[in-house]
Structure 1
Amino acid sequence: MSIHFVPFIQLDGRAKEAIDFYVEALGAEVTFSQTFGAGPGESDNSMSEAVKDRIAHSELKIGEAQLMVADSEPGKSPREGDLLTVCITTPDVEQATRMYHALREGGEMITPLSAFHFSPAYGVVKDKFGVTFQCFTSKRRS
Structure 2
Amino acid sequence: MSLRLTPYLMMNGNANEAIEFYENVFGAEVLFKQTFGEMPDNPEFPLPEEAKGLISHAMIKVGETDMMFSDTFPGETTQVGDQVTLCISSDDVEKSTKLFEALQQDGQVKMPLQDTFFSPAYGIVTDKFGVTFQIYTEGKQ
Structure 1 runs of 4+ aligned residues shifted over 4 Å read 42-45, 80-83
Give the alignment's TM-score, normalised by structure 1.
0.52
Deviations 1:85-130 (A, max 9, x none): 89xxxxxxxxxxxxxxxxxxxxxxxxxxxxxxxxxxxxxxxxxxxx
Distance 1:43 1:27 in 2: 39
Which sections of structure 2, spanning at least 5 residues, go unmatched?
87-141
Q: CA deviation at 1:59?
A: 0.4
Q: CA deviation at 1:28?
A: 0.6
Q: Report the AA paired with residue 23 of structure 1.
A: E
Contact 1:58 1:70 in 2 (8 A): yes
Give the alignment's TM-score, normalised by structure 2.
0.52
What does 1:31-46 correspond to in 2, within 5 Å?
A: 31-42=31-42, 46=46
Q: CA deviation at 1:75?
A: 1.5
Distance 1:84 1:21 in 2: 17
Q: Any idea what SS the aligned residue of 2:25 has?
A: helix
Distance 2:7 2:23 in 1: 16
Q: CA deviation at 1:36?
A: 1.0
Could you say which residue in structure 2 is the equivalent of 1:63?
63
Could you say which residue in structure 1 is the equivalent of 2:29?
29
- Report the CA distance shift for 1:52/1:82 in structure 2 as closer, same or farther (over 3 A): farther
Contact 1:11 1:83 in 2 (8 A): no
More strand by share: 1
Structure ID, larger Rg? 2
Q: CA RMSD in A?
A: 2.6
Question: Once the two structures are aligned, what percentage of the paired residues are identical?
Answer: 40
Could you say which residue in structure 1 is the equivalent of 2:5?
5
Could you say which residue in structure 1 is the equivalent of 2:76?
76
Which sections of structure 1, spanning at least 5 residues, go unmatched?
87-142
Distance 1:82 1:40 in 2: 33
